[in-house]
């Protein structure tokens, strides 16, 4: 092992003066890209194994590299890996630590690659791992929703348009709407993962390399399902990251909409649900308050996800091929996005089973909202009245019920018949909330049987 003095920077031979402290801090990514360490090591191990296989690296060098990187990984996992700002980023930090441990073999590791294809590989490996965690959490959230939907397949609530009671639905049906949103989020991420899961290594700085590399071997070692087909594109592409942020922004948008509903339902005026105390906080001055802080924060964190998406879109838009240092700015938004998604989904999956449903309040709101008015109109249409006329008849009936302060179903038969002679005593079957629900048994409908069927189909799909 020969060890001529290692320059302060891996590229410093070309330079006559050091960078200022401020420039050093400005250009360094190690304060945040240290998280890539295990993935950087994984990539280096595959690269080294390939170099040895094609005869560029000796078996002894490979053994030294494996031992050194193994020790560095153990240090990292034990929280003992010390990084140095002088070494700019995680790639240089690990390379220097390796060289310190194993000498020349460490210096040979970088043969046939560049930090440009190295960082692109690291980010893809890291993101693939993050996506897998997020996919598992999406499924956990979906399962929690299925359980709640099944328990409340018969629980009546008003469905809303314009945030005004519109027609009766079941709470189970509403939960299945949430379930569907997360299902599409899952699909989107699975699709995005296919484009993340491609190998850039081998592109080197931008033009490929003169060494007889075996990219298929590296791809297999790292579990990539495909290989980036063009060296220029491989080092400059970050659209896989933008796709992830777009999918993430939609996940947060969905969580935000659900959170908004929970906040509304928890206000004393609605009183549809309650959340366990562990997801709420009190007020420092108003002792009567129980604030839904967790859903509110989830709604709020959607803003930062949207910000990250716009940040990366903006980062890319002016970049000529191939690699530019701009790309170093992809990491903080990506890391924060994954952290936000993982935390939000884990808490959401924990919170859903805790939702306490106040069926009496929901039912009361459906009654007060004349939620079966449309059913009365449909009833008249089925008896031969044109829909527009039926609409008018029911509007008058609602006004009367409103004046009397009662539900449509409380109006006596002769009174209903005064609005239209087509009404007979079978009208009460559609005027009741249960009667209204029971008619909507088609696929995608809100009848309790349809909700139970939807839950069963979903369970089968999730396996
Ligand atoms: N820290 C850099 C990044 O995150 C690694 C690649 C640097 N390459 C370069 N030629 N400056 O993008």
pTM of this prediction? 0.94
Task: Point out the ligand 1 atom lying closest to the alpha carbon of residue 29.
Answer: 1
Q: Report domain extents, the chain.
A: 20-111, 116-154+170-362, 366-462
**Which residues, 6 or more positions from 233, have their beta carbon under 8 angstroms from its beta carbon?**
321, 322
Which residues does a 6 A CB cutoff place in the pocket of ligand 1? 29, 89, 115-116, 119, 323, 325, 327-328
Determine the average pLDDT of the residues in 40-65: 98
Using the atom order of ligand 1, give the atom closest to the CA of residue 88: 1
Could you identify the atom of ligand 1 that is nearest to the CA of residue 205? 10
Task: Note the pLDDT of residue 10.
Answer: 64
The answer on pLDDT for 463 being more than 80 is yes
User: What is the per-residue pLDDT for 369?
Assistant: 85
Give, to the nearest 10 degrees, the angle between helix 293-317 and helix 331-351: 150
Distance CA 50, CA 113 (A): 12
Q: Quick one: which atom of ligand 1 is closest to the CA of 115?
A: 6
Do the beta carbons of residue 168 and residue 156 sit within 8 Å? yes
- Per-residue pLDDT of 255-294, as tens digits, reads 999 999 999 999 999 999 999 999 998 878 888 888 999 9
- 161 pairs with which residues across the strands? 164
Fold agreement between 116-154+170-362 and 366-462: no
Note the pLDDT of residue 2.
42
Give the pLDDT mean for 345-365. 97
Check: CB of residue 251 under 8 Å from CB of residue 301: no
Picking from 138, 134, 152, 148, the residue whose alpha carbon sits closest to that of residue 349 is 138
Q: What is the pLDDT of residues 65-79, one digit of tens each?
A: 999 999 999 999 999
Inform me whether the pLDDT recorded for 160 exceeds 80. Answer: yes
Residue reference for tokens 């609605």: 270
Q: In the predicted model, what is the mean pLDDT of residues 10-14?
A: 72
Angstrom CA distances, 250 to 24, 191, 265, 320, stand at: 37, 14, 23, 29
Provide the percentage of residues in the chain whose pLDDT is more than 90.
Answer: 91
More confident residue, 352 or 367: 352
Q: What is the pLDDT of residues 373-384, one digit of tens each?
A: 999 999 999 999
- Asked if residue 101 lies in contact with residue 23, where contact means CB atoms within 8 angstroms, the answer is no
Q: How far apart are CA 457 and CA 463, in angstroms?
A: 10
The mean pLDDT of the chain is 95
Is the model's pLDDT at 41 over the cut of 90?
yes
Residue from 119, 235, 324 to probe ligand 1 pocket by mutation (most atoms less than 8 Å from CB): 119
User: In angstroms, how far is CA 55 from the centroid of its own chain?
Assistant: 43
**pLDDT value of position 7:** 54
**Residue in 325, 326, 333, 334 to alter for ligand 1 test, most ligand atoms within 8 A of Cβ:** 325
> Which residue among the candidates 12, 58, 283, 424 is catalytic per the annotation?
283
Tens digit of pLDDT for each residue in 161-216?
999 999 999 999 999 999 999 999 999 999 999 999 999 999 999 999 999 999 99
The predicted pLDDT at position 368 comes to: 86
Identify the pLDDT of residue 3.
43
pLDDT at 11 exceeding the cut of 90 = no
Q: What is the pLDDT of residues 286-333, one digit of tens each?
A: 888 889 999 999 999 999 999 999 999 999 999 999 999 999 999 999
Q: Using pLDDT thresholds of 50, 70 and 90, give the confidence band for residue 4.
A: very low
CATH architecture of 20-111: Orthogonal Bundle (1.10)
Give the per-residue pLDDT at 139.
Answer: 98
CATH of region 116-154+170-362: 1.20.200.10
At which residue do the structure tokens 């949207």 appear?
Answer: 306
pLDDT digits (tens, 9 = 90+) for 224-244: 999 999 999 999 999 999 999
Question: Is 58 among the catalytic positions?
Answer: no
Nearest residue (by CA) to ligand 1, atom 11, is 325
Domain with residues 366-462, CATH architecture: Orthogonal Bundle (1.10)
186 catalytic, yes or no?
no
416: Cα within 13 Å, side-chain hemisphere: 22
């Amino acid at each position: 092992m020969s060890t001529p003095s290692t320059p302060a920077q891996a590229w410093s031979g070309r330079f006559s003066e050091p960078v200022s402290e401020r420039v050093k801090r400005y250009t360094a990514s190690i304060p945040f890209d240290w998280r890539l360490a295990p993935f950087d090591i994984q990539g280096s191990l595959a690269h080294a194994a390939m170099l040895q296989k094609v005869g560029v690296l000796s078996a002894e060098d490979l053994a030294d590299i494996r031992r050194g990187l193994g020790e560095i990984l153990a240090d990292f996992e034990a929280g003992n890996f010390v990084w140095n700002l002088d070494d700019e980023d995680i790639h240089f930090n690990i390379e220097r630590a390796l060289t310190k441990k194993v000498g020349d073999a460490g210096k040979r590791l970088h043969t046939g690659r560049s930090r440009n294809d190295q960082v692109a590989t690291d980010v893809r490996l890291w993101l693939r791992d993050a996506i897998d965690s997020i996919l598992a959490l999406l499924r956990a959230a979906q399962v929690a929703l299925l359980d709640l939907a099944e328990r409340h397949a018969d629980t009546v609530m008003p469905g809303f348009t314009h945030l005004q009671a519109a027609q009766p639905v079941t709470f189970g049906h509403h939960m299945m709407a949430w379930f569907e949103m997360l299902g599409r989020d899952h699909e989107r991420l699975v699709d995005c993962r296919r484009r993340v899961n491609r190998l850039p290594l081998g592109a080197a700085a931008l033009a490929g390399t003169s060494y007889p590399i075996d990219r298929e071997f590296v791809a297999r070692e790292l579990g990539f399902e495909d290989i980036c087909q063009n060296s220029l594109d491989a080092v400059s592409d970050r659209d896989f990251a933008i796709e992830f942020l777009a999918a993430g922004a939609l996940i947060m948008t969905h969580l935000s909409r659900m959170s908004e509903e929970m906040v509304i339902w928890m206000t004393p005026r609605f009183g549809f649900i309650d959340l366990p105390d562990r997801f709420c906080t009190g007020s420092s001055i108003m002792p009567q308050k129980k604030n839904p802080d967790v859903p509110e924060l989830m709604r709020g964190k959607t803003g930062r996800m949207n910000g990250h998406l716009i940040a990366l879109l903006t980062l890319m838009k002016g970049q000529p091929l191939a690699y530019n240092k701009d790309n170093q700015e992809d990491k903080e938004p990506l890391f924060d996005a994954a952290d936000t998604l993982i935390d939000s989904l884990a808490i959401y999956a924990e919170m859903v089973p805790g939702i306490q449903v106040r069926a009496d309040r929901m039912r009361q709101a459906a009654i007060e909202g004349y939620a079966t008015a449309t059913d009365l109109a449909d009833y008249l249409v089925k008896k031969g009245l044109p829909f527009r006329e039926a609409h008018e008849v029911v509007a008058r009936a609602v006004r009367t019920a409103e004046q009397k302060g009662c539900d449509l179903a409380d109006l006596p038969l002769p009174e209903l018949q005064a609005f239209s002679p087509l009404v007979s005593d079978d009208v009460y079957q559609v005027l009741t909330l249960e009667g209204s629900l029971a008619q909507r048994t088609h696929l995608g409908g809100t009848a309790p049987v349809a909700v139970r069927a939807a839950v069963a189909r979903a369970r089968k799909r999730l396996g």
